Amino acid sequence: MIPLLAPQTQAIDRLKRLKVGALFMRPGVGKTRPTVELVNSVPGMEHVIHLAPYQSVYPPIQGTGIQDEVAKWGGYNVPVDFFGIESLSSSDRIFLQLLKLVQSKTTFLIVDESLKIKNWDAIRTKRIIELGRHCEYKMILNGTPISRNLLDLWAQMEFLSPMILHMSQSEYKSTFCETVKITKYKGNRIVSQREFISKYHNIDYLYSVISPYIYEADLHLDIAEQDIDLEYKLDDEIKQEYERLKDLYLDNEMLQRMNNNIFLEMTQKMQHLYCCAEDKFTVVKKLLGTIDPERTIIFCKFIASQEACKKAFPRCQVLSLQANSYSLNLQHYHNTIYWDHTWDWAVVDQSRHRTRRTGQQNALCFYRLNGPKLDLLMAANNEKKQGMLQYLKHKTVTQIKTEV
């Protein structure tokens, strides 16, 4: 078997003496192998439950899911059940089945992509924590370092062991977060209230408490990467409809009640309008004459663009940008085309790690299709790692009308 990489060896050394722990290792570093090694080192284990994103348990491409990754490194020494983590919130049957299992057998419980249990009020989070109460050995895995939003950590640490933080949700929040509440009124009536984190406190103390249970690792690859912009044009009919939608959503009456949801609705409708613009197909067809379609992924945001691309480019691997950006090992591809744009930098970053992985031997090329101003605006915000909310915070209506 291939020797362990240095970060994998360090991860095993850090957690092998513990019953609970977290591997926060960048996608592509290889967190599955140390997970297998750690589980198999525990004597007396009867069963493993491996919770992972549904798309990883049931991957769109054969041989790229979590079960294949575990098998590649020899598999677990005891019976294992793989479940889509999302099913815990949607299926009472699956939750009760797992609860019965952890109550009857000595089980090692693994939660892959642990940011899916960050919201402490969610049904899924509560059920995973309940399952964890019956398991002595637990691990959480995630492809990004410790989250910048410290609220995300409470549920993850609570799952591993309530004794790590030794505080309730409210105590945790008051200890480490300073919040500001914004209330909107219409006359004397409260129409909405939102709470924002304005500042964090006692960060050094928090890290000192959780660091013994966590191993973090970044990814370092000695291969070339290129980001290439491809320009396309809209026909006159789409341009006119694009401007009509912009005027509709940004008129004075609409802006009086404008909020982030309305802005998102506007950009979604405008994007969907031109997602299958004819010149996009012309530009990509020309590109595929210079690169290998069999080694090319096309990420699409909309079902319409996915279906159109599958029909137009059958030799390429067409995937959903939102649904297929996590967990899959696609290192046998080395060209990625972003057909549609998104405000969500985290999704873009994760999608790049499908090919940017340990073992990748080819130079990576990431192609981005740019057409109207909205594409360029979203691309610019992603380069700043700034999403839609950050963009709106500092913009006037006049600036939005000009930039979109």
The average confidence (pLDDT) of the chain is: 88
Q: In the predicted model, what is the mean pLDDT of residues 369-398?
A: 78
Phi and psi angles of residue 374, each rounded to the nearest 5 degrees, phi first: -60, -40
Find where tokens 């915000």 sit: 381
Confidence of residue 325 (pLDDT cuts 50, 70, 90): confident
User: How many Cβ atoms sit within 10 Å of the Cβ of residue 123?
Assistant: 13
**257-287 burial code (b ≥16 CB/10 A, e <16):** ebeeeebeebbeebbbbbbbbebbbebbeeb
Amino acid type, 61: I
For 163-167, 194-198, 324-328, which range has the lowest pLDDT when averaged over its residues? 194-198
Q: d(Cα 106, Cα 114) in Å, to the nearest integer? A: 22
For 207-211, 218-222, 253-257, 306-310, which range has the lowest pLDDT when averaged over its residues? 253-257
pLDDT for position 127: 95
The DSSP call for residue 133 is: T
User: How does pLDDT run across 122-180, given as a tens digit for each residue?
Assistant: 899 999 999 999 999 999 998 776 655 678 889 999 999 999 999 998 899 889 888 77
pLDDT for position 261: 60
What is the pTM (predicted TM-score) of this model? Answer: 0.74
pLDDT for position 347: 87
- Spell out the domains of the chain, with CATH numbers in brackets: 6-217 (3.40.50.10810), 225-403 (3.40.50.300)
Q: Are 354 and 382 within 8 A, CB to CB?
A: no
Is residue 255 pLDDT above 60, yes or no?
no
Confidence of residue 212 (pLDDT cuts 50, 70, 90): very high
Beta-strand ranges (E) seen in 220-328 are 225-231, 296-300, 317-320
Give the β-pairing of 177-186 and 189-200: antiparallel
Amino acid type, 3: P
Q: Dig out the tokens for 373 from the structure.
A: 């101003």
How many CA within 13 A on the CB side of residue 139? 30
Q: In the predicted model, what is the mean pLDDT of residues 101-114?
A: 94
**DSSP per residue over 157-225, as a string?**
HHHH-HHHH-S-HHHHHHHHEEEEEEEEEETTEEEEEEEEEEEE--HHHHHHHHGGGEEEE-----S-E
pLDDT for position 148: 57
Is residue 114 pLDDT above 90, yes or no?
no
Is residue 403 pLDDT above 60, yes or no?
yes
Percent of the chain at pLDDT exceeding 70: 92
Does residue 134 sit in helix, strand or coil? coil
Instruction: Please give the residue that has the higher pLDDT: either 220 or 212.
Output: 212
User: How many Cβ atoms sit within 10 Å of the Cβ of residue 313?
Assistant: 19
Is residue 251 pLDDT above 80, yes or no?
no
The DSSP call for residue 146 is: S
Query: Residue 394: CB partners within 8 Å, gap ≥ 6?
Result: none
Does residue 296 sit in helix, strand or coil? strand
Instruction: Please give the residue that has the higher pLDDT: either 294 or 329.
Output: 294
Confidence of residue 20 (pLDDT cuts 50, 70, 90): very high
Phi and psi angles of residue 379, each rounded to the nearest 5 degrees, phi first: -65, -45
Q: In the predicted model, what is the mean pLDDT of residues 280-297?
A: 97
Q: In the predicted model, what is the mean pLDDT of residues 95-103?
A: 96
Is residue 118 pLDDT above 60, yes or no?
yes
Q: Are 7 and 25 within 8 A, CB to CB?
A: yes
Instruction: Please give the residue that has the higher pLDDT: either 356 or 118.
Output: 356
Is residue 250 pLDDT above 80, yes or no?
no
Confidence of residue 389 (pLDDT cuts 50, 70, 90): low
Q: Are 53 and 113 within 8 A, CB to CB?
A: yes
Instruction: Please give the residue that has the higher pLDDT: either 396 or 13.
Output: 13
Beta-strand ranges (E) seen in 38-101 are 47-52, 80-84
User: How does pLDDT run across 47-89, given as a tens digit for each residue?
Assistant: 999 999 998 999 988 888 999 999 999 999 999 999 999 999 8
CA distances from 101 to 82, 134, 161, 259, 271 (A): 13, 10, 20, 46, 46
User: How does pLDDT run across 218-232, given as a tens digit for each residue?
Assistant: 877 778 899 999 999
